[in-house]
Amino acid sequence: MINSTIILESETLDPAKVQTLPVLSHNDLLDLTIAIPVKNEQINLPKCLEAIGRDLAAHVVVLDSGSTDRTKEIAASYGAEVIDFAWNGKFPKKRNWFLRNHTLATKWVLFVDADEYLTPEFKTELWSTLPGSEKSGYWLNYTVYFLGKELKGGYPLKKLALFQVGKGEYEQIDEDRWSNLDMEVHEHPIILGEIGSIKCKIDHRDLNGTSKFVIKHNEYASWEAARFLKAIQKRNASEHWTLKQKLKYRLMKSIFIIPLFFLGTYILFRGFRDGARGFAHAILRTSYYTQIYCKIRESQL
């Protein structure tokens, strides 16, 4: 549970700007653990924790991968528990490691990235949905911000990031450090039971800029290419894949994935509604699939 110290100005840790509020009891909070995997997220994390607030979840934990900036200091200042994680390059990565090695005292767990900010509407829907719910998990919907503004079009962002403790975990992929990514990124949670959907959106706002976006997606592309090459060697690799995953990996080795993705995000999902920003975003996202295609072909030379 977040303690009574709340920093109202996310840009600073100046003690003069800290306000102390009365602590709520456990019964006043949702039976929920919010887990935030991070590494060097001092820019995004303050606003993420500020958006969560202290009146929502029974427990907030920050899973840190050896940050060298002020990430851990910021997390502690908001009253979040900080857990250190050191990846050995194999399974499990950060989220599954947390689920397997830490006893969660709540019924629900919600994984939130540092650049994802819970909106008041989303939190209100959580309060009206989770108490008494017998569903095993929920799909979540997200806004996407690019160049400072919310995108009206483009592929919708959805993730299965909220589920009952003990009802699932992220798919097991036995990699051997295919990239430097120590956290499950495109792995899909395998959930036992019925899955619902939360309609109100979480804001996805990466404040780190375009350079980090490009670097990060280069890492993602290396991982995707390595996973594809291993998956095609295994007969039952697609057993738990979603329809979206199956379609993506069917197209992965074809050059047509590049124009198809661009046409999908810019035309079919109306990225053109965002004008020049929408076109630039579609180009950047399409370059990601271009990298995957090239990395797959390069490995086969």
> What mean pLDDT comes out for the span 15-35?
61
Inform me whether the pLDDT recorded for 19 exceeds 60: no
User: What are the residue boundaries of the structural domains of the chain, listed by start?
Assistant: 5-208, 211-299
Measured CA to CA, the distance from residue 200 to residue 17 in angstroms comes to 31
> What mean pLDDT comes out for the span 72-89?
96
Residues 86 and 66 sit within 8 Å (Cβ to Cβ): yes
Sorted by sequence, the CB contacts under 8 Å of residue 159 that are 6+ apart come out as 139, 140, 142
Please give the helix or strand (H or E) that residue 163 lies within, else none. Answer: strand 157-164
Measured CA to CA, the distance from residue 204 to residue 26 in angstroms comes to 28
Inform me whether the pLDDT recorded for 260 exceeds 70: yes
Give the pLDDT score at 46: 97
Give the pLDDT score at 27: 64
Of 7-21, 163-177, 198-212, 223-237, where does mean pLDDT reach its minimum?
Answer: 7-21
Distances (CA, A) of 270 to 46, 84, 164, 186: 32, 41, 35, 24
User: What tokens does 141 get?
Assistant: 């919907």
Give the pLDDT score at 107: 97
Please give the helix or strand (H or E) that residue 140 lies within, else none. Answer: strand 137-146
Give the pLDDT score at 247: 86
Inform me whether the pLDDT recorded for 241 exceeds 80: no
Could you tell me which CATH number the domain at 5-208 has? 3.90.550.10
Give the pLDDT score at 7: 32
Q: pLDDT category, 24, cuts 50, 70, 90?
A: very low
Residue-wise pLDDT for 275-298, tens only, equals: 999 999 999 999 999 999 999 999
More confident call, 188 vs 124: 124
Inform me whether the pLDDT recorded for 3 exceeds 60: no
Give the pLDDT score at 186: 84
Tell me what the pLDDT averaged over the chain comes to. Answer: 89
Inform me whether the pLDDT recorded for 222 exceeds 80: yes
Angle between the N-to-C axes of helices 275-299 and 210-231, in degrees from 0 to 180, rounded to the nearest 10:
40
Measured CA to CA, the distance from residue 210 to residue 215 in angstroms comes to 9
More confident call, 233 vs 29: 29
Partner residues linked to 158 by β-bridges: 141
Under DSSP, the state recorded for 119 is -
Give the pLDDT score at 253: 83
More confident call, 83 vs 6: 83
